[in-house]
A and B are shown apart, each in its own frame.
Chain A
Amino acid sequence: MKKIEAYVRHYKLEDIKTALNEKGIQGMTVTEVRGFGRQRGHTEMFRGTEYTVDFVPKVKIEIAVPDNNVQDVMRTIVNTARTGQIGDGKIFVTNLDQTIRIRTGESGEQAL
């Protein structure tokens, strides 16, 4: 099992959810986050003066998937979230040691 964390643009969230649903994923968690990448934030204007936004707002999507599904889910996210412009986001994948469905006590891939 893997946990996929994707940091994407707000307005791409709906498209990604729809695309992943079609791939049959069982659930996802979404969080509002702020951060920066290689550009170290970006500049905005207020009353004619430029200022730097150090931490840019993004949406973080967390999905737990069975090993055989990881490549498919990652490819779906990349294809849906990409615009080709700076700030499309990133995906991190980590190993998932254990999962438990609280209601039934099921564990492992059954709990996904």
Chain B
Amino acid sequence: MRTGPNLRFHLLALAVVVLFSQTPSIWAVDDSSASPPAATAKSAADKPAPTAAQPPSPPPYFSGTNPDPAKPAWPDPTGGAAGVWATPAGDGKGDVPSALSSGDLYDRIVHNLFSINIVWVLIAGFLVMFMQAGFAMVETGLCRSKNAAHTISMNLMIYALGCLGFWAYGFAIGWGNWFNGLVPPGWYSSLGPGTSILNSGVGIGAAVDAAGNATGAYTYGLLGTKGFFLAGLDDVSVMALFFFMMVFMDTTATIPTGAMAERWSWKNFCIYGLWVALPYCIYANWVWGGGWLAQGGKNWNLGHGAVDFAGSGVVHAMGGIIALAGAMVLGPRIGKYRDGKSMPMPGHHIPMVAVGTFILAFGWFGFNPGSTLAGTDLRISAVVVNTMLASIAGALGAMVTMQLQGLKPDPSMMCNGMLAGLVAITAPCAFVDSWAAFVIGGIAGVIVVFSVFFWERVKVDDPVGAISVHGVNGIWGVISVGLFANGKYGAGWNGVVRDEYVQKFGSDGVRGLFYGDASQLGMQLLDAAVVVLFGFAMAYAWFKLSNLITPIRVSAETEMAGLDGPEMGVLGYPDFNIGGNGS
């Protein structure tokens, strides 16, 4: 920058004045004139009062009605509209203060806002993508050495297959109507106005504006329908959203590969990889896309509707439930149960499991705080602390639980405990006090131990504990929002602002049973029931159906020999004589 400190200070002061004194419509105005142009004023006057299912209108400066042809209209495919002005000469005015109108300054401020948010979401997404490596190590380490190449290959290729499915149809059904979702009053997309292109979906009860025209929103939203293969969606804001949501879905996709490891045929796994975006994105649309579960607050007065900040339910419970259905259809590994008694099959590389757990815990620092979709939402530091406290509480909870049972603390169980704490805090991380995060994580650490024992006893063979870590604790995470949410964050979440709560507490944030809103707990229980029933029905039907297309389970000979050679053609450890596998 060529401006000295003094000039910069003046710019900042001017910017602040402009920000607080001008209407947003200033962006649509070429000069610093305080009166909005006729076109903007007219469209504002024509706008009906918002109704329950009204999609948010873009602020006037997003409206595409910009009278200045030199400035691009929304949505903006190149991303330039969100701030071509950030480069000094982008709008031909450089950064010479005397050449800048207050409107130009406002443009620059908003551009920086979007820049911070998009960079934040991308970096958080990179961390989430790296969680694939953590999953690969945890799952491979917990399987026997004769299946190592097969297990890690599933973890590798689910990234490719899952992403292909998400690009082809997942994003469209999950986020094709994202912009029509319920939002707090005055909200606009933190990633930039380009997301307003995500405005097409299907549902029940089409909302109409005062003139009787459909708004594109529904009383009960069901699915998005825009953006198959990202067709027509090349706006930078949409790209950031696509990337972030894609890496989240791959987390779900890779959870069942652990529970179904050591016996799942490769071909059946491949078609699963293309299918998994379907249940995931449908349910994600219901909770995150403004669908009927998110609308539970508006429609049925149940709190703020389903609240799942970063996806205890959307991501983890869904993955865990699919894993449960898969493990049930597959049946236990050969030799797992002898005379009705459970036979442990020890994992072959415990240090790998622990390192993978650390990678996952690291990636979670993108998973949870990134879900603000805004680096300018400074709640992120509270989210980070809550995430960390829950993870350590989970590890401690599992360790203490094992020892209170008179058992040794088992490294893989402590790893499961840390992950269970992380899974549980994923939904409530932005809404709870730090002490509550510790409690939620600690309870998760206890739950995971007994859950592992439970599934073992009922003969659902889960080599890595995925059903317990992600399924059971995902559900616990969803429910914990309805208990511990403290009402300090999430005012207007899912479009819900209730006068009685505002009068009583000053604002209507997300509030659980312990803080005075029992209806939120009711909604969370409904949400948890939906993910269990819907996820299980979809997955069980799919695994049964796909078994007819290509057998889901390898032959007994292949399973006994290990899947590495017969299925993959390559051994995980060809030049080690590792010997018996404990089975």
Interface residues of A (CB under 8 A from B): 34, 44-51, 53, 55
A47-B452 CB under 8 A given contacts A34-B579, A53-B582, A55-B580: yes
Q: With contacts A34-B579, A45-B407, A46-B410 known, is A51 near B343, CB below 8 A?
A: yes
Q: Cβ of B580 and Cβ of A51 under 8 Å apart?
A: no
Minimum CB–CB distance for A65 against chain B, Å: 29
Q: List 5 A-B contacts (CB under 8 A).
A: A46-B347, A46-B410, A47-B410, A47-B452, A48-B449
* Chain B residues whose CB sits within 8 angstroms of the CB of A46 once the complex forms: 344-347, 410, 412, 582
Q: How far is the CA of A49 from the CA of B412 in the complex (A)?
A: 13
One digit per residue, 1 when the CB lies within 8 angstroms of any chain A CB and 0 when it does not, for chain B 409-423 equals: 010110000000000
Tell which of B449, B452, B580 touches A34, judged by Cβ atoms closer than 8 Å: B580
Most buried by B among A46, A51, A53: A46
B402 at the interface (CB under 8 A from A): yes
Interface residues of B in 549-583 (CB under 8 A from A): 579-580, 582
Instruction: Tell me whether A48 and B402 are in contact in the complex, defined as CB-CB below 8 angstroms, given that A34-B579, A55-B580 are known contacts.
Output: yes
Contact B412 A47 (CB under 8 A): yes
Kindly list chain A residues whose C-beta atoms are within 8 Å of the C-beta of B456: 49
B453 within 8 A of A: yes
Contact B407 A48 (CB under 8 A): yes
- Is A49 within 8 A of B344, CB to CB? yes
User: Inside 8 A of B465's CB, which chain A residues have their CB?
Assistant: 47
A57 (CB) vs chain B CBs: closest residue: B579
State the Cβ distance, B229 to closest chain A Cβ, in Å: 43
Further 12 A-B residue pairs, CB within 8 A, beyond A48-B413, A51-B344, A55-B580:
A34-B579, A45-B344, A45-B407, A46-B345, A46-B412, A46-B582, A47-B410, A47-B413, A48-B452, A49-B344, A49-B456, A53-B582
Q: Does B405 contact A (CB under 8 A)?
A: yes
Interface assignment of B301: CB less than 8 Å from any CB of chain A? no
- CB interface residues, B 312-328, toward A, < 8 Å: none
CA distance A34 to B456 in the complex (A): 29
The 4 closest A-B pairs by CB, nearest first: A46-B344, A46-B346, A51-B344, A49-B344
Residues of B within 8 A of A (CB): 342-347, 402, 405, 407-408, 410, 412-413, 449, 452-453, 456, 465, 579-580, 582
The dominant DSSP class at the B interface is loop
For B408, list chain A residues within 8 Å (CB): 45
* Bound CA span A45–B452, Å: 14
Q: Which residue of A lies closest to B341 (CB)?
A: A49
State how many angstroms separate the Cβ of A52 from the closest Cβ of chain B.
9
Q: How far is the CB of B405 from chain A (nearest CB, A)?
A: 7
Task: Give the interface centre of A44, A45, A49 by most chain B CB atoms within 10 Å.
Answer: A49
A67 to B405, CA, bound (A): 56
B410 A48 Cβ-Cβ under 8 A? yes
- Give complex CA distance A23, B102 in Å: 95
Collect the chain B residues with CB atoms within 8 Å of residue A50's CB: 344
> Is B580 touching A45 in the complex (CB atoms < 8 A)?
no
Measured between C-beta atoms, what is the minimum distance from A91 to chain B in Å?
24
CB distance from A67 to the nearest CB of B (A): 36
Which residues of the other chain, B, contact A55 by a CB distance below 8 angstroms?
580
Query: In the complex, which of the residues A44, A45, A49, A53 contacts B342, with contact meaning CB atoms closer than 8 Å?
Result: A49
Assembly CA distance A49 to B342 (angstroms): 8
Q: Smallest Cβ distance from A43 to chain B, in angstroms?
A: 10
Residue of A nearest to B463 (CB): A47
Residue of A nearest to B577 (CB): A32
Q: Which of B346, B402, B412, B579 has the most CB of A within 10 A?
A: B346
Chain A residues, Cβ within 8 Å of B345: 46
Residues of A within 8 A of B582 (CB): 46, 51, 53
C-alpha gap A16/B158 in the complex (Å): 51
Tell me the bound Cα distance from A50 to B456 in angstroms.
Answer: 13
Inter-chain CA distance A50–B413, complex, in Å, is 14
Which single residue of chain A is at the shortest CB-CB distance from B142? Answer: A47
Which residues does chain B contribute within 8 Å of A44, judged by CB atoms? 346
B338 smallest CB distance to A (angstroms): 10
Measured CA separation A47–B142 after assembly (Å): 11
Question: Which B residues are in CB contact (< 8 Å) with A34?
Answer: 579-580
- Most chain B beta carbons < 10 A, residue from A44, A47, A53: A47
Report how far A34 CA is from B581 CA in the complex, Å.
13
CB distance from B453 to the nearest CB of A (A): 6
The chain B residue with its CB closest to the CB of A51 is: B344
Q: What is the CA–CA distance of A49 and B582 in the complex, to the nearest angstrom? A: 13
Complex Cα distance, B453 from A45, in Å, reads: 13
CA distance A55 to B449 in the complex (A): 29
Are A47 and B344 within 8 A (Cβ)? yes
CB of B505 to closest CB in A, whole Å: 45
Q: How far is the CB of A58 from chain B (nearest CB, A)?
A: 13
Q: Shortest distance in angstroms between A83's beta carbon and chain B's nearest beta carbon?
A: 22
Closest approach, in angstroms, between the C-beta of B69 and any C-beta of chain A? 67
Q: With a CB–CB cut-off of 8 A, which chain B residues contact A49?
A: 342, 344, 456
Tell me the complex Cα distance, A47–B141, Å. 14
Instruction: Determine the distance from Cα of A49 to Cα of B465 in the docked complex, in whole angstroms.
Output: 14
- Complexed CA–CA distance, A50 and B410 (Å): 12
Q: Nearest-CB distance from A40 to chain B (Å)?
A: 15
A95 nearest CB across to chain B (Å) = 31
What is the minimal beta-carbon distance from B546 to any residue of chain A, in angstroms? 29
User: Which of A34, A45, A53, A55 has the most chain B CB atoms closer than 10 A to its own CB?
Assistant: A45
- CB-defined contacts of B402 to chain A, threshold 8 Å: 48
Closest to A50 in B: B344
Output the nearest chain A residue to B464 by Cβ-Cβ distance.
Answer: A47
Cα-based distance from A67 to B560 in the complex (angstroms): 48
Q: Give the most central of B449, B456, B582: most A CB within 10 Å.
A: B582
- List residues of chain A with CB within 8 A of the CB of B347: 46
Please measure, in the bound complex, the distance between the C-alpha atom of A85 and the C-alpha atom of B62, giving whole angstroms: 80
User: In the complex, A51→B453 CA distance in Å?
Assistant: 15
Q: Is the CB of A48 within 8 A of B580?
A: no
Q: For residue B137, give the distance in angstroms from its CB to the closest CB of chain A.
A: 17
State the CA gap A34–B269 with chains docked (Å). Answer: 36
